[in-house]
Amino acid sequence: MTLRLQRALLGVLVFVVLAGLAARAATRIVPLVDRPGRCGYCSSVEAAFAAARESIDLLLSDAELEGNPLWEPLVSAAARGVRVRALLDASDWSSDITEGNRPALEYLGQQGIEARFDDPAITTHAKLVVVDRRTVILGSSNWNPHAFYEQEQANVLVEDARVGEVFATYFDRLWAGDLPEAGITLDLGGFLGEGPLLVPLPEAPGTANYARILGLLLGRAERSVHVVMYRASWYAEYRGSLSNEVLQALIDAAARGLDVRVLLDDCAFFPDSAEANLEAALFLHLHGVEVRFDDPTATTHAKLVIVDGESVLLGSTNWNYYSLEKNHEVDLALINLPAVAEAYEELFRALWKSGRRLTE
């Protein structure tokens, strides 16, 4: 991205945050919290597709063809003239990822829908829907039946033309293949004011926008930090990693006397991830942070942080090296919005109550 184009995109981001919710009637925020057995995310995406007039853009890490209720409304939107583009993850390190997404890619092509794989050298871990460059749905839900109906998920729907334009522009650049490493940089100075703010966080390798704003939120926390996280890592051999910085910021918040609690998925189905989460949990526990694991028969796939019961950071980003530093990820910070935060606090409270202590 040239300096001129980079400044143009940065300007969009700045105006989104500073304008934020000044025109309250023009902005709608809907928390989408799904427990096993229901998929409010599915209903919201389907309704957004039905209302689409001009465009639908999908940036997806995992898009299975079978058992997916969202393909039919997507195809229906394309049939009535909506331009649909789908960019799916391909991987040069895991053929299973590429082949898992290939049936959906081929199906969309057969329906006359523009669909392609991303750059296989970079992992697209995002779960992003943008409709008419105004309605944005993002969070932790992959497009497969397990994610929709069996897992704990945290997503959000935002209707705002400024937020939509940020993510739509991000998608445009990925679609064209001309978004370079560190090609999106946010100037976060002055963003965390007193009023309600929305901060879109599109990520590329080297940007670290998510980690930067999370650090600011944790450093400013006054009462509580509640976390629901699918994957977290502590790297003893890489002390300066962003993941370590995040965990240290939690420890620092606990040392200030804040209510800091972390609910982790135990990743029982993936031994490497289970070991990483256990190491992170032990590190936090030994340094004064309360940690619990979820039910080992369940999958808590959310990536959710709630600060002071007022501000929320959620999206696709896990707390490990690749997610924080190398992937294409999509997140959103919803700052000074206690009514929105309460929906996610309710999820945290339910999971925490049923969670298992490290000694259990």
pLDDT tens readout for residues 252-292: 999 999 999 999 999 878 889 999 999 999 999 999 999 99
pTM of the model: 0.93
> Could you please report the per-residue DSSP string of 304-356?
EEEETTTEEEEES--BSHHHHHTSB-EEEEEES-HHHHHHHHHHHHHHHHH-E
Q: Which helix (H) or strand (E) holds 51?
A: helix 40-51
Task: Give the residue extent of every domain in the chain.
Answer: 3-357
Residues 6+ apart with CB under 8 A from 76: 49, 50
Which residues partner with 159 through β-bridges? 28, 135
Q: What is the pLDDT of residues 152-179, one digit of tens each?
A: 999 999 999 999 999 999 999 999 998 8
pLDDT, tens digit, 9 for 90 and up, residues 7-58:
334 333 333 443 444 444 579 999 999 999 999 999 999 999 999 999 999 9
Q: For the chain, give the percent of residues with pLDDT over 70.
A: 89
The third-level CATH classification (topology) of the domain covering 3-357 is: Endonuclease; Chain A (3.30.870)
Max CA separation in the chain (angstroms):
58
How high does pLDDT run on average in the chain? 90
